Amino acid sequence: MIRLRDIAAAVKGDLIGDGDIPIDGIAGIQSAREGQITFLSHASYLRYVAQCRASALIVGKKTPIDDVREMNVVVVDNPDLAYIEVVGMFRKEPSPPPGIDPRAVVSPEAEVAASASVGPFTCIERQARIGENVAIYPFCYIGPNVTVAEGSVIYPHVTIYRDTTVGRNVIIHANTVIAADGFSYAWDGKRHARIPQVGSVIIEDDVEIGANTAIDRAALDATVVGRGTKIDNLVQVAHNVTIGQNSIIVSQVGIAGSARIGNNVVLAGQTGVKDHVSIGDRVMAGGRTGITKDVPAGSLIWGTPHMPHKEYIRLQLYIKKLPALFEKIRKLEKRFSPEEDDDRHK
């Protein structure tokens, strides 16, 4: 049990109500029961407050307090960040015990820290280095000369090919493949000749990579994912791509070879990035954007081929008006057609 006043102190919030009330958990606003705390991240959820049975509510400073005045409330700057803090107080992610499962296969030339956990049916090849407090779940493959640094988590069925560097506190979700060969061929007149991919992949600290994502190795140098970047499920990152720090790459994005993505970039779902394109810092691309050429820093873009966001919205408005415009033109053509002019002169 944690007193509400202690929760308010932990999230640096202003408490309105009974600070002595005990809280034993956190739940969603529609499912929370008495004794739990919930949170209101968006004003659209205010309609659920009247039926909410939670003992306390975390709200943002922009939330109309009058709508929740009968509840115990903790007012914070950012409800999402407060939620992260409170979840950590009640729910700890279970960690597998340290040690190498006897059913794992670990090369005698590999280095595995004593505090690391290696699950059953995992294979760790020669010259691989597994750092302190790393968790490798069952059925993973860690190739030769791979480094996985301190505190990283590799979920089941992840494959990491040779010569890959995984930084500290990286999370790689199930079935992801890191450092498979890039898709690169040259036509010799008779067949597609395979271009060797002899580079590497570097995943910097605090990166998270979703399930079923593929990040290809570079042809010669390195494919790089910068510190703090978060990659969703089902993303393709091709060879020689560089993604900067603290960027967000949403589900089903495809980034073609040698593209350069800056820092703090957001690529929404199903966005496609052409090869050798450079995207500046702080660019935001709407869903299904087709990025075909370089994008200056700070741009807000949408559409295929990509264009400024305002121009895209204006174009969508025009498209909606096209049926009425075509009908108007049809009527004008009918009214002023040469056949009708001839009939009027007879």
Both structure tokens of 173: 């979700």
Instruction: Tell me 216's DSSP state.
Output: E
Q: For the beta carbon of residue 30, count every other beta carbon within 10 angstroms.
A: 12
Q: Tell me, what DSSP letter sits at residue 50?
A: G
> From the candidates 42, 157, 173, 239, which is the catalytic residue?
239
C-beta separation of 281 from 263 below 8 A: yes
Q: Of 178, 180, 175, 174, whose CA–CA distance to 166 is shortest?
A: 178
Q: How far apart are CA 252 and CA 254, in angstroms?
A: 6
Write the DSSP string, 299-323. Answer: -EEETTTTEEHHHHHHHHHHHHHHH
Contacts of 276 (CB under 8 A, 6+ apart): 256, 257, 258, 259
Give yes or no: 192 in active site: no
**Cα–Cα distance for residue pair 216/211, rounded to 1 Å:** 15
Write out the catalytic residue numbers.
Answer: 239
